Amino acid sequence: MGTVLVAGGAGYIGSILCRELLELGFSVRVADRFFYGNAGVVGIKDRIEILEKDLRQIAESDLKGVDACINLAGLSNDPTAEYNPDANWDMNALGAEHLAQVCRSAGVWRYILASSASVYDRGGQQEEQDVVLTEESEVFPKAAYAVSKLEGEKRVLALKNDRFSPIILRKGTVHGFSPRMRYDLVVNTFVKDALGSGTITLFYGGEMWRPLVEIRDVARAYIAALQAPLEKVRGEIFNVVEKNYRISELALHVQGRLEKLGIRANVAVDYAYRSVRSYRVSSKKIRQTLGWAPLVAVEDSVELMVKNIRECGYTNFDYPRYYNIEWMKLLQEAQTVSSRSHPQNIFKVPDETTPPAAS
């Protein structure tokens, strides 16, 4: 089946993808700096190769024997991008290009880059632009995260030639349980809030649109791009979306399944002005070209999430590592304190396999 390098393989999506690749018989090499710990690879460490490296440090020698690369590394949402715009640009634009260049030089023919459907965002309160967007639609992202992802796409696609095949997957907002769990994604946030406080809050009245896709369906999309004939995918962009939801509608889907599980959750509506994202995206191209179709509904994702949260003890909902921006701020603060006392000491994330459960 060949060897796949997964950059960011210990992350939220990577930890699911690596398991799916192993089940299919691929050899997996994970490149990850383990910024969020190593919970994502617990249980598969003895079945994978690990490079504890930033994607910007990966060299040709690290790619010996690699047949394809899937790049999931980088900063992954608006708050982290705004908090550290330099790192955001460096990882999502320059880092994506660096790894693609190294892959091309090393003879790795297939390079799949994780991008985001947020490049389509036209903001709230723009009803005249409320249309379903395709890969051919013009994009004018304004947020730092989306701008960096689009620039990464452009730089990587510019490297395409007969022996190097870049592929871009623009994913909708992902949901579902992962060993490297996140509670800063909308469905996951709804579930966390329902379990923690019994209330799901709809900001901006829940009027905005968002394309959604479940994490295991995302993994299947990467595998479809990995296994497709190169002539079908070389230099192509694919949207990966199950369905477009109004956030208010989404909350009702989540609330309904939670009630069947015996979990009562009120829905509170907040109409206070906030900067919001709103966009709808078509996944027709990936369905027709690669035969990919989503298999996991939001309701089923919610049920599995609740089961795994409880079984794995991921119930300390205030734990910063579940929230990308909160963890980044915590590490930055620790680094600052450490550097004052020990200028040569570099803060290192502790090796923790399982986040602490609530007491």
With beta carbons less than 8 A apart as the criterion, state whether 148 and 178 touch: no
pLDDT at position 356 is 43
Instruction: Return the minimum-mean-pLDDT range out of 130-134, 254-258, 279-283.
Output: 130-134
At residue 60, the 3 state secondary structure works out as helix
pLDDT above 50 for 196: yes
What gap in Å lies between CA 210 and CA 173, rounded to an integer?
7
**Burial classification of residue 280, based on how many CB atoms lie within 10 Å of its CB (0-12 exposed, 13-18 middle, 19 or more buried):** buried
Distance between CA atoms of residues 143 and 145, nearest Å: 6
Q: Which two tokens stand for residue 116?
A: 């985001």
Helix, strand, coil percentages (3-state) for the chain, rounded to 5, are 45, 20, 40
Query: Which tens digits make up the pLDDT trace of 6-63?
Result: 999 999 999 999 999 999 999 999 999 998 899 999 999 999 999 999 999 999 999 9
Strands 165-171 and 173-175: unpaired
- Indicate the pLDDT class of residue 111, thresholds 50, 70 and 90: very high
The span from the CA of 252 to the CA of 322, in Å, is 24
Closest CA to 356 of 315, 328, 323, 309: 315
Q: What pLDDT, on the 0 to 100 scale, is given for residue 314?
A: 95
For the stretch 256-272, pLDDT in tens is 999 999 999 999 998 77
Contacts for 139 with CB less than 8 Å, ≥ 6 apart: 119, 120, 133, 150
pLDDT at 272: 74
Q: Which residues touch 117 (CB under 8 Å, ≥6 apart)?
A: 170, 171, 172, 173, 211, 239, 240, 241, 279, 281
In the chain, the domains with their CATH numbers are: 3-181+212-242+279-296 (3.40.50.720)
Contacts with 357 (C-beta within 8 Å, 6 or more apart), sequence order: 313, 314, 315, 316
Q: Answer whether residue 188 shows pLDDT above 90.
A: yes
Given a cut of 90, is residue 74 above it in pLDDT?
A: no
Q: What is the mean pLDDT of the chain?
A: 89
